[in-house]
Structure formats: C-alpha cells, structure tokens
Amino acid sequence: MSNFLTLNKFFKKHFGKRVQKVPLDAGLGCPNRVSGKGGCIYCNEKGSGTGASLRNIPLRKQLLDGMEWAKRRYKAKLFAAYFQAFSNTFAPLDKLEEIYLQVANVPEVVAVAIGTRPDCINKQVLDLIASCFPDKMVWMEYGLQSASDLTLQAINRGHTVDDFIRAVELTKGYPFLICAHVIFGLPGEGKKEMEDTVRLVGALGVNGIKFHELYVIKGTPLCKIYRRGGYTPIDQDSYARMVAWAIRSLPTDTVIQRLTGDPAPGELEAPGWASKKQETIALIGKYLE
C-alpha cells in the first residue's frame, strides 16, 4: 500500500513531521438543504460531520480538544484544521471571517482544509480565505461525487458538473491545493460512470482525491429507498477494484486522502462491509499489488 501518495506522506514531505487533521463542525448549513429541496439523498442532519455544533461545542474548544487528543494518541505536534461538516463557505463573508480567524491564530495549526460545495465558491470567498490564512497550507475540498449530471440529479445533489469544473478553475488562481470528493456505487451508475468521474478529476489536475462508497445512513431519504428495494449498494470487492483502478489511473503525484468512507457508530443501515474499514483498505491494497 506504499505505492501511492497518502496525505500523511504529503504532510511529512512538506513539514518534516506528522501533521494530524482535526475535524471541526462550524455549525454552517448547506444551500441544498435550506432551499427546501431536502439536500442530498444520503445526507443526515450532521452533514457528514461530528455533530459537535448540534451539541453546542464551541469551535475553538473542538479544535483545542482535538489537538490535545492527537498529542496523546499520536504524539502529534503540528495540526491541520479540517472544516468538515456541511458547506464551510456557505455564510456571509463576515460570519466566515469570524469562523476562520478562530483557527488562523493557532501557531501549531500549519494547514487548513475547507470542505464545501462547488456552488458555494466565488472570488470573494477565496479572497477572504487567502487573507485569513496567508501563512498556512490551504486545501479546498470540493464534493463532486459524480461526473454525470443525470446522477447528480438522481441524488438531489443540487449542482452540476460544470459547477465543479468552474470552482476548480477559479481556485487554481490562488495558492491553494484542491481535493475532489467522489462516491462509488451511486444509484444507476456502473463501471463506466465511475471511471468517467475519475477521468474528469485526473484531467482537471486537482491535487488530491477522497474516495467514498455510498453507504446508507438511517433516517435519510436513501434509507427509505433502500428499505423498499429501490437501491442496492455496491459490493466490497467491486468497490476495492474500482478504487485500485482509480489510483493507478490518476497522476502519481495525486494525494490519495481517503480510501473508504467511515460511517459513525450506530448510523449505518447498509452495506455491512462499510463498517469494516481496515478490511476494505487491505482489499484495495491487494488489487493495487
């Protein structure tokens, strides 16, 4: 599994030591949910995050507690603040500035990752990020999920493939790194559609990628579809083969930030293998070899 560039290796190469990511929930929403359209069919009220804002844990406390945990667990001394939940550019500029500056003045935080949607990006937001983090490595993480507009409509994604391409091209004008999120096993997609998604990411020259399998979370619209027999999740073997193919197909300097999704305890409806992260990673390694 050492024949590709992981985020740990990438950070170590740049900073000379381990950099530990600390997930943050800034309490921001998603335009696809507040619009009344219901959001993506696979998303729950935590927005793929920790749910810390729902528990009223202040952002600064989330960061400092996460750093303390990582110091004990990994002996980490440097950190990357990861704005993970929902769309972390979806707020008025003054609100975003207030959020970002809570992280910007922590000297041990050497990198920042901002997860968001490609339709929540414009020049004003990117200018703000550049001004808030002039001395930190910035990763902009954009959810593409699929290079098929038909699929994006089917999962109620609320943006187009062109929105993603526009966000990537706009971001290239800044000293930021770009990570694309893609999902394998989306409704109606086969091998060709998944390969097309990987090819688009490669052609755009993004710096990193995160792979996720589509798993069914309880209480989501997808869960209702699954329970009535309208969706069959991708099997573990097919997923592992697809990730291995994708890694081999992308440029060798692409940072492979994530190999598989990681459902929160108690949330998973299906498939059962989605909770066996290490088993899936080992299978991907087997196919890479």
For range 242-254, the mean pLDDT: 98
Total residue length of the chain: 289
pTM, 2 dp: 0.95
User: Is residue 46 over pLDDT 80?
Assistant: no
Average pLDDT over residues 58-82: 95
* Whole-number Cα distances in Å, 96 to 27, 87, 127, 208: 11, 11, 12, 24
Rama region for 88: left / alpha / beta (φ>0; ψ in -120 to 50; rest): alpha
- pLDDT at position 56, please? 79
User: Smallest Cα–Cα separation from 42: which of 222, 229, 172, 199?
Assistant: 222
- Whether the CB-CB separation of 260 and 281 falls below 8 Å is answered with yes
Residues 6+ apart with CB under 8 A from 189: 146, 148, 151
Residue with tokens 């706009």: 170
The mean pLDDT value for 217-241 works out to: 96
Model confidence at 177: pLDDT above 60? yes
Q: What's the mean per-residue pLDDT of the chain?
A: 94
Query: What span, in angstroms and rounded, lies between the C-alpha atoms of 116 and 93?
Result: 15
| Whole-number pLDDT of residue 127 | 98
Higher pLDDT, 23 or 53: 23
* Over residues 57-75, mean pLDDT: 95
Give the CA distances from residue 80 to residues 86, 127, 237, in Å, rounded to whole numbers and listed in that order.
18, 20, 32
Domain boundaries, the chain: 5-288
CATH of 5-288, one of 1.20.120.530, 3.40.50.720, 3.20.20.70, 3.40.50.300: 3.20.20.70
Percent of the chain scored above 90 by pLDDT? Answer: 88
Question: What pLDDT is recorded for position 49?
Answer: 58
3-state class (DSSP) for residue 16: coil
pLDDT score for 175: 98
Res. 284: pLDDT tops 90:
yes
